[in-house]
């Protein structure tokens, strides 16, 4: 995970140098692909675990060397200074990964870290705002499409229900007509007999029921007078009333009327 850049530089006393600031030890940290905050967290963890001295004796900084890119490794630089040498603010120019970087410790380092933290916070807020806006737009569009689909499904369901009800009524009526006609007689016979009843009955006739079977009709008529004025069919009244005031009249086929008027 790490790549040492200065294996020959440590905090042990060495040859005298012309630098006017405490010695800075630096190395490169490479993190696997991930989000920018996850890579930064891994770099800080590596900087602490691989520190050359106990953390209580050190002051360190972690800096990103390359811009974050999706599915790309992250490259960071970590800079260490003895805590006792960083009591006074100082800046240093360090070459890391072929680049000259300015690092500051002490008060200047605090300001730099604050600015970096502020920049990261602004970046996170911008990313979060963009994600929330995109999610809201996608959610609103999905809800609108769902409502449209539900409306279309509901209209289709209503149309199918109406069609099924119409078909069921037709089937019921066909069954009722078949039961009334019987298996041996065509439907035209029933219709002709019904038409004859409608045209031949007297205005005073009070027909309360009609029965038809195999070409023979029977009508329930309230009152004693015959229900028909045109006599071209045989009529026969029941010997007794079906119920108080209601007689049953039998009607023969067309042309079956004998000479004379109908009687009981």
Give residue-wise pLDDT tens across range 234-246: 888 888 888 898 8
Q: How confident is the model at residue 29 (pLDDT cuts 50, 70, 90)?
A: very high
Give buried/exposed letters for 200-233 (b at 16+ CB in 10 A, else e).
Answer: bbeeebeeeeeebeebebebbbbeeebbbeeeeb
Q: How far apart are CA 92 and CA 7, in angstroms?
A: 19
Helix (H, G, I), strand (E, B), or coil: what is residue 207?
Answer: strand
Domain borders along the chain are: 2-6+19-105, 128-181, 187-254
Does 136 score more than 90 pLDDT?
no
pTM above 0.85, yes or no: no
Predicted confidence at residue 188, as pLDDT, reads 78
For all residues of the chain together, what is the average pLDDT? 79
User: Taking a C-beta distance cutoff of 8 angstroms, is the pair 220, 251 a contact?
Assistant: no
Predicted confidence at residue 118, as pLDDT, reads 58
Q: What is the pLDDT of residues 170-202, one digit of tens each?
A: 888 777 766 665 555 567 778 888 888 888 888
């Amino acid at each position: 995970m790490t790549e040492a850049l200065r294996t020959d530089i440590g905090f042990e006393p060495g040859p005298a140098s012309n630098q006017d600031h405490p010695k800075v030890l630096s190395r490169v940290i490479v993190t696997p692909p991930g989000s920018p905050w996850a890579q930064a967290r891994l770099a800080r963890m590596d900087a602490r675990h691989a520190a050359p001295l106990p953390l209580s004796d050190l002051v360190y900084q972690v800096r990103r060397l390359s811009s974050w890119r999706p599915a790309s490794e992250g490259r960071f630089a970590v800079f260490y200074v003895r805590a006792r040498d960083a009591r006074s603010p100082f800046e240093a120019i360090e070459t890391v990964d072929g680049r000259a970087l300015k690092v500051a410790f002490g008060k200047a380092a605090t300001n730099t870290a604050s600015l970096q933290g502020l920049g990261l916070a602004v970046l996170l807020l911008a990313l979060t705002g963009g994600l929330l806006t995109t999610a809201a737009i996608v959610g609103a569009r999905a809800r609108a499409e769902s409502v449209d689909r539900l409306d279309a499904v509901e209209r289709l369901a209503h149309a199918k229900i109406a069609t099924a009800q119409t078909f069921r009524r037709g089937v019921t009526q066909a069954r009722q007509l078949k039961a009334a006609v019987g298996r041996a007689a065509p439907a035209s016979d029933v219709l002709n007999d019904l038409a004859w009843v409608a045209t031949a009955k007297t205005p005073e006739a009070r027909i309360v029921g009609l029965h038809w079977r195999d070409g023979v009709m029977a009508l329930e008529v309230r009152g004693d007078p015959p229900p028909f004025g045109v006599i071209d069919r045989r009529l026969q009244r029941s010997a007794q009333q079906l119920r108080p005031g209601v007689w049953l009249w039998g009607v023969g086929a067309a042309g079956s009327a004998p000479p004379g008027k109908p009687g009981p």
